[in-house]
Structure 1
């Protein structure tokens, strides 16, 4: 599975009808809003991809359509009830291109490509998952009460792991740039905002108070990550730099 993100611009006729010089005002016009859209293209070749239900725009090629299922129907229903992933999420197999719903300017996302080995299991915030290869097992992770208080993810999060002896691929979308970092044993990550959007099994997430009445830093409640594994982080979230 390969993907690319394209920015589609208006036609030459649109520029002409709105009296805009395309060469000098392609990206910005002082008085008119120039519409651009962002669209993800997923290319598969004798393979498959799982996408969010309702996110298909179109597809073309020698493709067959199915729905996501594990060998446990109760697991599928559990996941659909507890996360944003529906148990009958679309699966496309074969060779061709799958196009996801375009996003209008103002709601563009930053996409990250994550390789998942067989010993890894990723857990993602609600709404982060966009698509993945079809060699995965999708589950749900229950949040602690303190985690619920500090986030908007509800009671459950989606978890994704690769089928044994295979390497899977996950594409995530965040409102600001994200990257994967390693957290080594003995290290700790502390953030005063929801910086981490996903992490692997072996990482312990906690939402705790740092100090009391101005003592020990007095940062009130912070996110704390300990253990050994990988984190998907958005370092400049809330800075207005995206």
Structure 2
């Protein structure tokens, strides 16, 4: 499974009809809004992809359609009720191209490809997951009360792991760029905002007060991460940098 994020722009005829010089005003015009569209293309080569329900725009190739199922349908319903994964999430398998719904300018996302290794489990904030290879096990992770108080993710998060003996892929999307960092034993990450969008099993997350009555830092409530594992972080989240 491979994906490509494309930015589509208006046709030459559109520029001509709107009296806009494409060479000099391609990205900005002082009086007219130039529409750009972001679209994700997923290429399959004898493989499969699980996508969000309703996010498919078109597909072409030797593909078969199904729905994501575990060995327990009650579990599937539970996952759909507790996370952003809809019940009966679509699965496309075979060889071809699946295009997702286009996003208009102003609503673009930053996509990050993550490889899920064997015996590795990732936990993601609600709304971060976009699509993944079909060799995954999708589950849920219940949050503690303090974690709920410090975020808008509700009481549950989505948890993904690869099938035994396999490697899987998951693609996430956020409004600000993200990267993967590793936390080693004895290290700690402290952030005064929702910097971490996902992490692997072995990382402990807590939302607690730093300092007391102006002592010991006096930052108020902050996020703490410690343990050993990987984290998906968005350092510019909240800076309005896009």
Normalised by the length of structure 2, the TM-score is 0.99
1:110-148 CA-to-partner distances (Å, cap 9, x unmatched) read 000000011110000010000000000000100111111
Work out the CA distance in 2 between the residues paired with 1:59 and 1:185. Answer: 45
1:2 counterpart residue number = 2
Following TM superposition, by how much is the alpha carbon of 1:87 offset from its aligned partner in structure 2, in angstroms?
A: 2.8
Work out the CA distance in 1 between the residues paired with 2:34 and 2:135. Answer: 40
* Structure 1 counterpart SS, 2:112: strand
1:71 counterpart residue number = 71
* CA root-mean-square deviation: 0.7
Work out the CA distance in 2 between the residues paired with 1:31 and 1:87. Answer: 44
2:55 counterpart residue number = 55
2:22 counterpart residue number = 22
Work out the CA distance in 2 between the residues paired with 1:203 and 1:87. Answer: 28
1:125-173 CA-to-partner distances (Å, cap 9, x unmatched) read 0100000000000001001111111101001000000001000000000
Normalised by the length of structure 1, the TM-score is 0.99
Work out the CA distance in 2 between the residues paired with 1:58 and 1:149. Answer: 39
Task: Tell me if structure 2 keeps the 8 A contact 1:69–1:87.
Answer: no
* Structure 2 counterpart SS, 1:217: strand
Work out the CA distance in 2 between the residues paired with 1:235 and 1:160. Answer: 23
- Gaps in structure 2 of 5+ consecutive residues: none
Aligned counterparts, 1:84-163, within 5 A:
84-163=84-163
- Gaps in structure 1 of 5+ consecutive residues: none
Work out the CA distance in 2 between the residues paired with 1:227 and 1:72. Answer: 32
1:11-53 CA-to-partner distances (Å, cap 9, x unmatched) read 1111111100111111111111100000000000111000001
- Runs of 4+ with deviation above 3 angstroms: none
Work out the CA distance in 2 between the residues paired with 1:34 and 1:86. Answer: 34
Work out the CA distance in 2 between the residues paired with 1:31 and 1:20. Answer: 10
* Structure 2 counterpart SS, 1:216: strand
Work out the CA distance in 1 between the residues paired with 2:81 and 2:36. Answer: 35
